[in-house]
Amino acid sequence: MKKIILLYLTLLNIAFAYNYDDVLLKAQASIFPKIMLLDKKVEDKLIRGEIVYTIVYDKYDYNKALEVGGYINETYKGYFHKYKYKINFVDVLELSDKTEASAIYVLNVEKETQKVADIAKKKGVISFSYDIGNLKNGLMFSLVIEKSTVLYLKKENLYNQKVEFVDSLLQIVRFTESDNIKNKVLLNNGSEFDIKYAKTVIDIFYN
């Protein structure tokens, strides 16, 4: 019976869990901490002298969150540059103002993204989104692998007085408009690119 229940749960997880792009996850795990360090006010965000990198996940993606944490530890080995860090895994439903976070990385969360964005804004921390589509809900950064790796930044979400990036970062990011985020992103050469199409391409390419 237990086996049946465990199998049931596993299948349930498989059935309900989001299908993440590992390459993208690895890329984001590698790049987002670095982007956090490009904030000139990163020191203001230290909690007890260390960076708390909070990964917010849906209840079915806990394992993926752990996987991402593993990627980060594997890459940074306990330190973001000179700062010691801690990875905080938080279920999106449990996320509140009291949740400690120097930066928030949100996995694919179908609901509550607005809440995450508001908390991040309130805390004055940078928010990263696995899904570029969540930028429209107020999250700040996302990363897409197209012909090359492209960083997306929601322009409206940049007006946070507690965050100040190095200038050059703003030169390499690609700004998104709220209306376009839904389905398309503006490519570097000015052409539009359908996200869903992109996801399909990525999936085909990597899978």
Partner 1 sequence: MKRKISSLSTKIVLLIAAVAFLITFVIFVVSVKINKEAFYEIEIEKANLIARTIEPLIALNIYLEMQSNIAQITHQLIENPNILAVKVLKENKIIDEIKSKEYDENIDNSFVVKRSILEPTSKKEIASLVLVYSNKGHKDLVNKYKNLVVVLLFVLSILFILFASYVKYLLSPLKTIALSLKNYSPSQEIEIPFTSQNNEIGLISNALHNMQDKIRQYSKQQQNINKYLEEKVNEKTLELRRQLYIDTLTGLPNRFSLLNDVANITNGALLILNIDDFKEINDFYGHVAGDQILKDFSNKLTDMFCNDFNVAVNRLSGDEFTLLFMQKPSLENFTQIAKKVIFDIEKTLFLYKNSEVGIRVTIGGSYEIKRGLERADIALKSAKKQQKPFLLYDENLNIEEQYKNNMGWVKALKIAIKKSMIVPYFQPIFDNKSNKIISYECLVRLIDENSNVIGPYKFLTVAKKSKLYSKLTKIMVDKSCKFFEHLDYDFSINISIDDILNKDTVAFIKNKIVKYGVEKRVVFEILETEEIGNYKEISNFINEMKELGCKIAIDDFGSGYSNFEYLLQLNIDYIKIDGSLIKNIDKDIHAQIVVETVVSFAKKLHLIVVAEYVHNEEVYEKVKELNIDRSQGFFLCEPQAQI
Q: How many residues does the chain have?
A: 207
Q: Which is nearer to partner 1, 30 or 99 (CB)?
A: 30
Q: Which is nearer to partner 1, 46 or 169 (CB)?
A: 169
Least distance (Å) from partner 1 to the CB of residue 13? 32
- Return the number of other C-beta atoms located less than 10 Å from residue 156's C-beta: 14
Least distance (Å) from partner 1 to the CB of residue 66? 23
Q: Which is nearer to partner 1, 44 or 94 (CB)?
A: 44
180 by Cβ neighbours in 10 Å (0-12 / 13-18 / 19+) ranks as middle
User: Where on the chain is the footprint of partner 1 (CB under 8 A)?
Assistant: 30-31, 34-35, 37-38, 81, 147-149, 151, 166-169, 171-172, 188
Least distance (Å) from partner 1 to the CB of residue 51? 13
Q: Which is nearer to partner 1, 35 or 109 (CB)?
A: 35
Report angle CA 74, 119, 153 to the nearest 5 degrees.
65
Least distance (Å) from partner 1 to the CB of residue 37? 5
Least distance (Å) from partner 1 to the CB of residue 134? 20
**Do 181 and 154 form a contact (C-beta atoms < 8 A)?**
yes
Tokens of 105: 């990385």
Give all strands (DSSP E) within the chain, no chain letters.
Answer: 51-57, 79-80, 83-91, 103-106, 126-129, 141-145, 149-154, 174-176, 184-186, 192-194
Q: Which is nearer to partner 1, 34 or 84 (CB)?
A: 34
Tokens of 90: 């938080």
Nearest residue to 145 via CA among 1, 24, 20, 17? 24
* DSSP assigned state of 47: B
Q: Which is nearer to partner 1, 118 or 164 (CB)?
A: 164
Least distance (Å) from partner 1 to the CB of residue 168? 3
Tokens of 198: 């992109």
